[in-house]
Structure 1
Amino acid sequence: MDLSAFHFLRPWWLLGVPVAALLWWAWRATQGRMMQDGRIAPALLPYLLVHTPGGRGPRPIDVLAAILAVAAVAAAGPAWERDEPDFLDNVAPLIVAVDLSPSMDAKDVPPSRLEAAKRTVRDLAARRAGAKTGLIAYAGSSHLVLPPTDDKDLLDLFTQALSSDLIASAGHDAAGTVAVAAQVLAAERAGGTLLLLTDGADTARMAAVKQAAQAVKDMQVLVMAVGLRGAGGAAGGIDEAALRDLARAAGAPLGSLTGGKDDLDWITLHAQQHFREVQDAYAGPPHWKEAGYWLCWPLALLALAALRRGWRVAWHACLLAGIVVLAAPQPARAGPLADAFFTPDQQGRMAFDRGDYETAMARFRDPYWKGRAAYQAGKYQAALQAFTPLTTAEGYFYVANTQTRLRQYDAALAAYDQALAIKPGWEPAVVNRGIVARLLESMTQETQGDEGEPPDKTIQDKTAKAGQRVATHAGQAPSEEMWLRNLTLSPARFLRGKFAAQDAAAGRAP
């Protein structure tokens, strides 16, 4: 609970608290005056008073005043937590830029600086499940590896392919990285964050970094140093002075990679805070989650306390209080009570929003959401079965994503084409289709470039070309191990070729 954000949505209802106190004081004063004035015979008082001298427990007026005060506070709407939409996309977009300079191969951070940075990318994707994370690689030039995506497996595939030999040009092109990230995040229309995982900076290009950072709107930059502290270079540690200059030029906080949970907390908190600031600037005043309904429980206990022998109870008021208590939101769970108040799809959506995807998959009847839950739960065959009957662009899109997870790349491309036929130019489908197409093309080129397996059978022709041997191959499919090896190597070869082509097109020589 953030006490600094505690406030009341309808503060005028708090006037009910002094009204309840005034009512209680007036009643007690009136009773005291009646006894003091002698209007009631002393012999009759023990039979007329509910709270006899020496009795225990509160009087009816005490309970009534407490009920009025608590109800006034509940009606005032206490709130301290923002009412954020429950959709998974409402998480700050993040782009991680990994420095691929040769100094990142230093072993001062085990197993190496680059491997530590790649592990941080994987941990961030796991921590930010459902959020979009992109990837940039840079050294002397900057290149987009993957646009922001919530597919952490695809992100991990390309992260593992990063190595210090992918970019031929040397240097630390932080200014170019900021420009690339700004261009990508402009399409997200949200407050995005660029994280630089680096061990150095080009001090001669700080003016360009500052200019690039100042030209960007609604994007913040974070700089995280990878390596042990020391005086300049891979052998002696990171150059702290250069990194401080980089952070100052980019207007960015500077952190140090420790490999612990604090690194992820530092990154996610900065990213989410900036995201909320940008969203508030565009959306106006924030919406708050009202917590007054929790006071229904003390109200029910106070009403129950009124059920004492000798007290007069307004049963219609108790019935109304009971209805209010039963109407309070309950956790979604399968059962007679949930079935009485919520449809299966509503129960499934509540389970989906709290991350219980297997329960959501079992409760949903809507095929789209049933497929979404199965997809998030990793049940890709079940997801494909749910998505297949759908003929919408979203249905074909998730069929393609599921086929990609099942490594059926040709089927995935066909499904992306169907989605784009229904919704031409749809950016998520265009981006994912391009990734799968390039991956499939890279795999095909590598397979063609590999040497063939030894011939299964050799036949000697003793007729027209005597003495020459002719090799014939049996129709045998590549082994699963060979296919997986090609899949693992393909992203690295694809990225190396892509980066070289971009550098050549920009006129940058290695």
Structure 2
Amino acid sequence: MAEAAPFAFHFLRPLWFLAALPVIGMTLYLLTRQNMERQWGRVIAPELLKHLLVRPEKGWRLNPVYLVATGHIISIVALAGPTWRRELPPFVEDKAPLMIVLSVSPSMNTSDIAPTRLERAKQKVHDLLAARVGARTGLVAYSGSAHLVMPLTDDRTVIEPFLASLTTNIMPKQGNDAVAAVSLAADYLLAEPAAGTILLIADDLAQGTEAAVIHAASRNGLTILGMAAPSAALPESLSDAVKVTVDDGDIRALQRRVETRYQSAQAAAFGTRWQDEGFWLVIPAALFALLWFRRGVVVPWILLLALCRPQAASAAESDWFRNLWLTPDQQGRIAFDRGDYASAKMSFDDPMWRGIAAYRAYDYLAAAESFRRINSPEGRFALGDAEAHNHAYEKAIQAYDDVLAVQPNNVAAIHNKAIVQVALEAREKKRREQEQANPEAPDLKADETKVDPNQKEGKKVVVPKLDVTSPGAVDAWMRQVETSPADFLRQKFAIQAAAAPRLEPKP
């Protein structure tokens, strides 16, 4: 599987480079004017001219022409809009979901990779979890059967105890069913609005199953971390395989693949745009502009140091100075990029950005109020998210319906509407149950006790041993289990394997 380039550097407005032509022409003209030999060579003989010219002593000296030209070129590059990454929508997760599929087959006990292939694989998963702070990660283990160890979660401390307890002897069946494991991982990524990534950590695949494994990943990207020694490499048809390394080079490679695929999936699902990075060049262009109006460099540098010297200023003076140079939206964007969303929502004039800042500041009421002023599909989608957080589920569903009326194939709106509908149904169900449980308040006075005269002594009963094969018994056992993670997984996997449908052999 081919991998997209992690950086797609290009310019958003390349026609601005045409402005460099007059800059280059003017620079060449000024340099020609500064050439005294060329100017006087037309009227004075060359033999005499070399004795008449007074040349300055050689030393380090900045030519103002070069400074002006460099400042103009930097400004033109900034205006051309250099970019190499996409800007994600403000309401979309910026961390890629990852399902890790770990082989726990007997061959993983081989010690050609110290201490064993399985132990090294668990160490690599631990390092990958540490590198993905705040990102959602799930874990599937497989041998002859596939089992979910942990669904997607952003808390790696929940996964690590179960990861450490994975051994080959807790698996109910021995084998190498990678297809079922990848398919199970893909099922848990179906609810994601955009495709995620499945990381298969294995030392080998059953012969002839490469195409089936790739197909089982469905829309999600599939990356393989090969735990086999070089002499037992994975099939060559799996081009997107990363070999395990003694350092963290394999972890960095996996991270790049996961993030690159997720950005591509986000772009396909939400239509993200390229982020203009030209603002980084404003500072060097301004520095060259400071040096332009003086022939030397001493005075401008003294002025620059004076401007950089910290000075105490009151809040009113600081606000006045900012208002003099920056618009409210620019001030809000600075606070937003700094993570100060509370200040950003007070600064923005643009209702969309004001609502986004309020949303990030967890002020969902203010966010909804701002989003109501926007009639575009983006504004209605944002309104639905804000109303959902306000538990105004009916209003949220109406906002998503407004989006789908204009964009029927909006995946994010369909996904969020389904979640809100489930939450609304759960709330209504709970309300009905409470009404049925308490139809009327009892007619009792405070501190009054009534005794049923017909009450009889209860009889003793023997509770039968729990049958984990009966419906509902498994869930009850899971809630009561108090054991080590390894024993827990062994029992869980055994129950799942026993409950799995068995295929009858064909006659």
Query: Structure 1-normalised TM-score?
Result: 0.55
CA contact (8 A) 1:20 1:68 kept: yes
Shift of 1:3: 12
> Per-residue displacement from partner, 1:43-77 (whole Å, max 9, x unpaired)?
xxxxxxxxx98679778777655554443333222
- Structure 1 unaligned residues grouped into runs of 5+: 39-51, 231-239, 310-321, 327-334, 354-364, 372-391, 397-418, 427-437, 448-485
- Kindly state the Cα deviation for residue 173 of structure 1 after the two structures are TM-superposed: 0.6
Any residues of structure 2 matched to 1:69-84 within 5 Å, and which? Answer: 69-84=73-88
Matched, 1:159 2:160: no
Shift of 1:336: 7.7
CA contact (8 A) 1:73 1:292 kept: no
Contact 1:138-1:173 at 8 Å conserved across structures: yes
SS of the residue corresponding to residue 176 of structure 2 reads coil
Alignment correspondent of 1:499: 493
Deviations 1:419-463 (A, max 9, x none): 99966679xxxxxxxxxxx9997686345xxxxxxxxxxxxxxxx
Q: 2: CA distance between counterparts of 1:54 and 1:83?
A: 55
CA distance in 1, matches of 2:361, 2:80: 37
Which of these residues, 260, 263, 284, is aligned with residue 273 of structure 1?
260
Task: Indicate conservation of the 8 Å contact 2:199/2:224, yes or no.
Answer: yes
Residue of structure 1 aligned with 2:17, choices 11, 14, 28 = 14
> Equivalent residue of 2:144, what SS?
coil
Q: Which has the higher contact order (CA 8 A, sep 6+)?
A: 2
User: In the TM superposition, what is the alpha-carbon distance from 1:133 to its structure 2 partner?
Assistant: 1.3
2:219 maps to 218
- Report Cα offsets for 1:2-27 as digits up to 9, x if no partner: 99844332222222222223345567
> Per-residue displacement from partner, 1:206-231 (whole Å, max 9, x unpaired)?
35x5235336433232333335456x
Question: What's 2:130 paired with?
Answer: 126
User: Does structure 1 conserve the Cα–Cα contact (< 8 Å) formed by 2:195 and 2:219?
Assistant: yes
Q: Is the 8 A contact 2:200 2:225 kept in 1?
A: yes
Deviation, 1:140, is 0.7
Report the CA distance between 1:155 and its aligned residue.
1.5
Q: What per-residue deviation string (whole Å, max 9, x for no partner) do you get for residues 291-312 of structure 1?
A: 3542432443343341359xxx
Aligned partner of 1:254 in structure 2 is 241
Partner of 2:119: 115
Partner of 1:90: 94
User: Are the aligned partners of 2:103 and 2:202 in contact in 1 as well (CA < 8 Å)?
Assistant: yes
Give 1:50-449 correspondences, 5 Å limit: 67-84=71-88, 89-203=93-207, 206-207=208-209, 210-211=211-212, 213-214=214-215, 216-228=217-229, 240=232, 243-244=234-235, 248=237, 251-284=238-271, 286-308=273-295, 350=338, 445-447=480-482
Q: Secondary structure at the match of 2:150?
A: strand
Contiguous gaps of at least 5 residues in structure 2: 43-52, 297-303, 309-313, 323-329, 342-356, 364-386, 392-419, 428-472
RMSD across aligned C-alpha pairs, in angstroms? 5.1
Report the AA paired with residue 338 of structure 2: M
Q: Which amino acid aligns with 2:206?
A: D
Task: Quote the offset at 1:150 in angstroms.
Answer: 1.4
**1:215–1:3 distance in 2 versus 1, CA, 3 Å:** closer
Q: Specify whether residues 156 and 142 from structure 1 end up closer, same or farther in structure 2 by C-alpha distance, changes over 3 A only.
A: same
> Is this contact kept in 1: 2:81–2:276, CA < 8 A?
no
Cα deviation for residue 267 of structure 1 reads 1.8
Displacement of 1:163 in angstroms is 2.1
Q: Per the alignment, in what secondary structure is the counterpart of residue 168 of structure 2?
A: coil
Q: Helix, strand or coil: the match of 1:165?
A: helix
Cα offset for 1:273? 2.7
1:274 partner amino acid:
R
Post-superposition CA distance 1:251-282 (Å, at most 9, x none): 45333333421221232222223223333344
2: CA distance, partners of 1:338 / 1:501: 70
Pick closer, same or farther for the CA change 1:283–1:229 going to 2, 3 Å. Answer: same
Q: Deviations over 1:340-360 (max 9, x none)?
A: 56999976973699xxxxxxx
| Cα gap change, 1:288 to 1:133, in 2 (>3 Å) | same
Aligned to 1:47: none
Question: CA–CA distance in 1 between the matches of 2:168 and 2:72?
Answer: 69
Number of equivalences: 355
Residues 194, 79 of structure 1: CA spacing in aligned structure 2 closer, same or farther, 3 A cutoff? closer
In structure 2, relative to structure 1, the CA distance for the partners of 1:289 and 1:229 (3 Å cut) is: same
Between 282-291 and 89-98, the greater mean CA deviation after superposition: 282-291
CA contact 1:220–1:252 (8 Å) conserved in 2: no
Deviation of 1:127 (Å):
0.8
Q: Distance in 2 between matches of 1:155 and 1:60?
A: 62
Residues 352 and 184 (structure 1), Cα distance of their counterparts in 2 relative to 1, 3 Å cut = farther
Q: Tell me which residue corresponds to 1:357.
A: none
CA distance in 1 between counterparts of 2:331 and 2:68 reads 38
Distance 1:395 1:106, change over 3 A: farther
Task: Give the Cα separation in 2 of the matches to 1:8 and 1:367.
Answer: 32
Amino-acid identity (%) = 29
Residue 124 of structure 1 and its aligned partner are, at CA, apart by 0.6
